[in-house]
Structure 1
Amino acid sequence: MSTTEEPTQGTTISVTEQAAEEAIALLEGESMDTDIAGLRLYVQQGGCAGLSYGMRFDNEPEEDDTIFEHHGLRVFVDPASMNYIEGSVLDYEGGLQGEGFHVENPNVVSECGCGESFRT
């Protein structure tokens, strides 16, 4: 389902303003056009709990991606990943423990001890 429109009820990914600002700054640092390019959020096999999150910048969405826009940031999610992460919030955390993006996923039933992988 390729869309730049509002996704169907219940299938949404949210992005905090802080996460959007950080991602947009990184996109611009890579000289990517933030009107077309975006952050790809996906789920992959791996980690001690079975699944892990992945993120990368893409110049444009794939044909079957769902596209979310929050605070000027475009987020691309493929259909298979959407099954695991719908309803999630992408946040950015800073501090003494390190900085980085974090996915708050309401579908997770357990995480590994390091917090890098999960099970739904």
Structure 2
Amino acid sequence: MSTESAESGSGSRMTVTESAAEEACRLMESEGMDTDVSGLRLFVQQGGCAGLSYGMRFEAEPEEDDAVVEQHGLRVFVDPASINYIGGSTLQFEGGLQGAGFHVENPNVVSECGCGESFRT
């Protein structure tokens, strides 16, 4: 398993924490997905009060032009348009009393909405 940041197609770096990789792989395996081929798609879409929001879903394989980041046994697929917004980000998994979930720590964000669900770069 890789423990270092991987290069995306655009040369920007993205990091996946070990806890995020473990949780995503656990969820994919529970859905019968092969983690050697399948992965977590991370994308940016229009929406939210600040203009942009993150989306995530599991996919069986990457698209031809995706950047594929592999760390800690997890493959993350990012399309070329989204990598421009999330290059340099860290994908984390946070648990706690307020609820658990995946979080993107993005150094490109200049402002976020009050609820933290959308952002602007």
| Range class of TM-score, shorter chain | over 0.9
Q: Is the 8 A contact 2:13 2:87 kept in 1?
A: yes
Q: Is the 8 A contact 2:39 2:59 kept in 1?
A: yes
Q: For residue 44 of structure 2, what is the aligned residue in structure 1? A: 43
Distance 2:63 2:10 in 1: 22
Change beyond 3 A, Cα 1:61–1:90 = same
| Cα displacement (A) at 1:7 | 3.7
- Contiguous gaps of at least 5 residues in structure 1: none
Q: What TM-score do the two structures reach when normalised by structure 2?
A: 0.92
RMSD: 1.4
Q: For residue 116 of structure 1, what is the aligned residue in structure 2? A: 117
Q: Is the 8 A contact 2:9 2:66 kept in 1?
A: no
The sequence identity of aligned pairs, in percent, is 75
Distance 2:39 2:9 in 1: 20
Q: Which amino acid aligns with 2:120?
A: R
Distance 2:95 2:72 in 1: 19
Distance 2:115 2:105 in 1: 15
Q: Mapping of 1:1-120 within 5 angstroms?
A: 6-7=7-8, 10-120=11-121
Q: Which amino acid aligns with 1:86?
A: G
Q: Which amino acid aligns with 1:90?
A: L
The alignment of Structure 1 onto Structure 2 pairs a total of residues equal to 116
Change beyond 3 A, Cα 1:117–1:9 = closer
Distance 1:9 1:37 in 2: 22
Change beyond 3 A, Cα 1:40–1:9 = closer
Q: Is the 8 A contact 1:65 1:78 kept in 2?
A: yes
Q: Is the 8 A contact 2:68 2:77 kept in 1?
A: yes
